Amino acid sequence: MLSPAQSPYAPVITTSGNSISQASQASPSRIERIKLDIGYEVWTKRVGDGPIKVLMLHGGPGFSHLYLEPSFTANLLSDDYEIIYYDQLGSYNSDKPSGPEARHLWTVERFLSEVEEVIEKLQLDNFVIYGHSWGGLLGIEYALKHPKRLKGLIISSMTSNIDDYIDYAYKLRSELPQDIQDQLQAYEDRGEFENPEYEGLLFKELYTKHICRLNQWPEEAVQSMEHLNKEILNEIQGPNEFVYTGNTRNWNRTADLKNIATPTLVISGQYDTMNPEKMKEMAELIPNATGKICANGSHLTFFDDTENYFSTIKEFTSTL
């Protein structure tokens, strides 16, 4: 779950050596638009041709592959991997139905059926699902429904219980100076969730400490925010971490984690918006799971604790 702060505090830069154009040139890619049974099309891109196939489920909801691609292509791609990026319906390169008539599309159940279709139409088998944030929620749901199809599951920065997510967000908020808390509350009381000053406060006081801890954010992270589909975010989550009004408000799979049979890596950052202790508990509750808390990482650990993050993923996938 990643919120849509737009802020003058978010400088646009390109990560050295990891730009979208450079990453795309690193290996031949195959782009395919998949027509869903409901008539809309979603965009996919396959990079590499190694034996370990990794389907990337991006966060948001309503973000896209943009913030994942350069870092994963630069740090993970080798003769061992094939990475499959995909923009979920409503995101960036995929079709974008909108308005009241599209509200029924923005549910966990509908997105899960979409993931199932993408997997079927790309003819994936014995593959790894990587799910970041909201994508981790979808990964959990898929692993519970189709335990025999997966080679591995990577849950990155996603708790198994929305209550835990909200409780920890408020814990982080309670650690802010009282005047900042009061300012945030005043904007929220007025419903001014898109006020640039409110979003600027969130970015400066929360996101720079717990979403991405780099002094300057990578260009692809800022681009992904700029292309966020707020209709989807608001329907499934809500405006931000502190105003959770979406239809996943009561989502809780903690009691079902014992039923995930797939070898699993649960990974996040010590400074994540997801409670590190809850992430450790998830790894203990999943029968065949490994847990890793990256010491310098946040919600986008692949940016601010890169070496630790990708070495862990490589070690995990080498055991599958």
Question: Which active-site residues does the annotation give?
Answer: 133, 272, 299
Helix (H) or strand (E) holding 285: helix 276-285
Contact (CB, 8 A) for 220 and 63: no
User: Could you give the CA distance from residue 98 to residue 91 in angstroms, rounded to a whole number?
Assistant: 11
User: Could you give the CA distance from residue 257 to residue 144 in angstroms, rounded to a whole number?
Assistant: 8
Contact (CB, 8 A) for 212 and 303: yes
Count of helices and strands (H, E) across the chain: 13, 8
Compute, in degrees rounded to 10, the torsion defined by CA atoms 286, 287, 289, 295: 60
Helix (H) or strand (E) holding 264: strand 264-269
Q: Phi and psi at residue 133, in whole multiples of 5°?
A: 55, -120
DSSP bridge pairs for 153: 129, 264
Describe the crossing of helices 108-121 and 134-145 by its angle, rounded to 10 degrees.
70
